């Protein structure tokens, strides 16, 4: 079973459209993340949720809206897509131990978004 | 901004040890050093982490200098499958934020 799974793996769409990427983890982790990797390969954190609560919200345009229906799922909805949104989006999860320390990240395989 | 600096690229002969350096001169006492790698365009994969002691697992060893301002990831017997981008990350204890730098592109040569 895949620990962190994202769908779709590839997404090609026109500028101005709205699209969603879904992420699910079966590791029982409390915390989930969205990272964006652009064409220069920089991995930048976008959002993080802990037990369905938003805890990290980097300077991301408000066209991007994460949603966590439960702690195993973190979806990313993007409105009015722009050319610059083309990137690979990675979902990740981690567990917080009893001492409050966050463990290592487990990443999904990525969702490659191409905006034409 | 990333708190680490790494060489852009390195080559290593297959079967030899690959030593990947990382500078984190502004690290604080409660910040861990993590290493991840990304093979081609797959999701990054955790390798190892440490606070101040040297660490070893089945994948690699992590050597942290006494002043904690730098560390070295060692892959003892590099194989072609170890060709990847290796990221050194500093994470503050109790926070959820991992900030990735530009990484080192390691090429293992046959």
What pLDDT is recorded for position B2?
62
Coil, helix or strand for A84?
helix
**Given an 8 Å threshold on Cβ–Cβ distance, is B99 in contact with A45?**
yes
Return phi, psi of residue A84, to 5°.
Answer: -70, -5
Partner B contacted by A48 (CB < 8 A): yes
What pLDDT is recorded for position A102?
62
Query: What residues of B are in the A interface, CB distance below 8 Å?
Result: 34, 36, 38, 41-46, 49, 85, 87, 91, 93-100, 102-103
HEC profile for B39-51? CCCCCCEEEEEEC
CA-angle at A51, arms to A64 and B43, nearest 5°: 60
Query: Which residue has tokens 């991007």?
Result: A64
Instruction: Tell me the per-residue pLDDT of B36-95, one tens digit each, with 9 for 90 and over.
Output: 999 988 999 999 999 888 999 999 999 999 999 999 999 999 999 999 999 999 876 667
What pLDDT is recorded for position B1?
59
* Radius of gyration of chain B measured on its C-alpha atoms: 13
Partner B contacted by A45 (CB < 8 A): yes
Distance from CA of B68 to the nearest CA of A (A): 20
CA-angle at B97, arms to B73 and B43, nearest 5°: 60
Instruction: Tell me the per-residue pLDDT of A41-62, one tens digit each, with 9 for 90 and over.
Output: 888 999 988 888 888 888 789 9
Partner B contacted by A98 (CB < 8 A): no
Distance from CA of A20 to the nearest CA of B (A): 19
Whether the Cβ atoms of residue B73 and residue B54 lie closer than 8 Å to each other: no
Residue of A102, A106, A112, A113 to mutate, testing the B interface (most B Cβ within 10 Å of its Cβ) = A102
Residue of A6, A43, A52, A107 to mutate, testing the B interface (most B Cβ within 10 Å of its Cβ) = A43
Nearest CA in chain A to B100: A43
HEC profile for A27-67? CCCCEEEEEEECCCCCEEEEEEEECCEEEEECCCCCCEEEE
pLDDT of A75 over the 90 cut = yes
**Given an 8 Å threshold on Cβ–Cβ distance, is A42 in contact with B102?**
yes
Nearest CA in chain B to A30: B96
The per-residue DSSP string of B27-93 comes to --TTEEEEEEEE-TTSPPEEEEEESSS-EE-SS-EEEE-TTSSEEEEEETT--GGG-EEEEEEEEET
What pLDDT is recorded for position A11?
96
**Given an 8 Å threshold on Cβ–Cβ distance, is A55 in contact with B87?**
no
Mean pLDDT for all residues in chain A: 90
What is the 3-state composition of chain A as percent helix, strand, coil, each rounded to the nearest 5? 5, 55, 40
Distance between CA atoms of residues A9 and B6, nearest Å:
30
* Chains A & B: contacts with CB separation below 8 Å: 53
Q: Closest CB to A50: pick one of B38, B96, B99.
A: B96
């Amino acid at each position: 079973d895949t620990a962190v799974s994202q769908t779709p793996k590839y997404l090609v769409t026109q500028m101005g459209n709205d699209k969603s990427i879904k992420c699910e983890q079966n590791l029982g982790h409390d915390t989930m993340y969205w990272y964006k990797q652009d064409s220069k390969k920089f991995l930048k954190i976008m959002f993080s949720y802990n037990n369905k609560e938003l805890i990290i919200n980097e300077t991301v345009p408000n066209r991007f809206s994460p949603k966590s229906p439960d702690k195993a799922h973190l979806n990313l909805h993007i409105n009015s897509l722009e050319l610059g949104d083309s990137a690979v989006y990675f979902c990740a999860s981690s567990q917080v131990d009893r001492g409050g320390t966050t463990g290592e990240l487990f990443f999904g395989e990525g969702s490659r978004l191409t905006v034409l | 901004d990333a708190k680490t600096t790494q060489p852009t690229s390195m080559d290593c002969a297959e079967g030899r040890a690959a030593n990947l350096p990382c500078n984190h001169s502004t690290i604080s006492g409660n910040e861990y050093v993590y290493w991840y790698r990304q093979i081609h365009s797959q999701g990054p994969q955790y390798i190892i982490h440490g606070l101040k002691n040297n660490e070893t697992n089945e994948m690699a060893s992590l050597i942290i200098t006494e002043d904690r301002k730098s560390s070295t990831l060692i892959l003892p017997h590099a194989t072609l499958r170890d060709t990847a981008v290796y990221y050194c990350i500093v994470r503050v204890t109790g926070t959820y934020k991992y900030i990735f730098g530009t990484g080192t592109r390691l090429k293992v040569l046959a």
